[in-house]
Amino acid sequence: MVNFSDFEKKIKITFKDKNLLMQAFTHRSYINENGGTILTHNERLEFLGDAVLELIVTDFLYKKYPNYTEGELTAIRSALVNAVIISEVASDVGMNEYLLLSKGEAKDHGKARQYILANTYEAVVGAVYMDQGYETAEAFITKTLLQKTDEIVKKKLWRDAKSLVQEKAQEFVEVTPMYKVLNEAGPDHDKHFTVGIYFAKDLIAEGKGKSKQEAEQKAAEAALKVRNWVD
């Protein structure tokens, strides 16, 4: 069985109820594969943690940016709590090493793992909240996630690049950008896409991602830089 004491030391939180922490790392697939276990999967903790996370992030942004509109705050919050960022944060604190997964899930290190890590982070937030209360959960989120806020705001990563490039393209070159998949590689569970963004027939930039949507966003970001349309 996984020893979670090293993880507790890493995050500097000692759980009163060790089973809560173990539950936070237990994926449904592990329960399905190990029928006799007394463990419970982490989906209820994830549900709770998602709500705690949203409240703490919202409260932080509301106080940090008093002059931002509701729409801007919502966009920044979405950029902070999306699966890509949260899975990166989960990896940064070493959650990948403690996941309880089925043998099949353990072999998959593609997009599915990214979502499992993001969900586990939320479950850990839920477990911290249940075991230690709001202030400890807030401190954990501040230390692991909220430090990324300045970079997101400074680089304007919270703005949707596709919407922005469409707005700029219509303003300056009077065209609507088009996207085309240039390359698709990898097995079904770990696809990688290369997408081109075109103004009329001209290829402006390319972007890569694990989904067409992600690759389109990257292509849009690249096009903004190519045309020097980044504020």
Residues designated catalytic: 50, 122
* Residue found by looking up tokens 């703005």 in the block: 159
d(CA 175, CA 189): 35
* Residue found by looking up tokens 């950029």 in the block: 79
Contact in structure between 27 and 102 (CB atoms under 8 Å)? yes
| Secondary structure (H, E, C), the chain | CCCCHHHHHHHCCCCCCHHHHHHHCECHHHHHHCCCCCCCCCHHHHHHHHHHHHHHHHHHHHHHCCCCCHHHHHHHHHHHCCHHHHHHHHHHCCHHHHCECCHHHHHCCCHHHHHHHHHHHHHHHHHHHHHHCHHHHHHHHHHHCHHHHHHHHHCCCCCCHHHHHHHHHHHHCCCCCEEEEEEEECCHHHCEEEEEEEECCEEEEEEEECCHHHHHHHHHHHHHHHCCCCC
Residue 120 token pair: 């586990």
> Which amino acid is present at 62?
Y
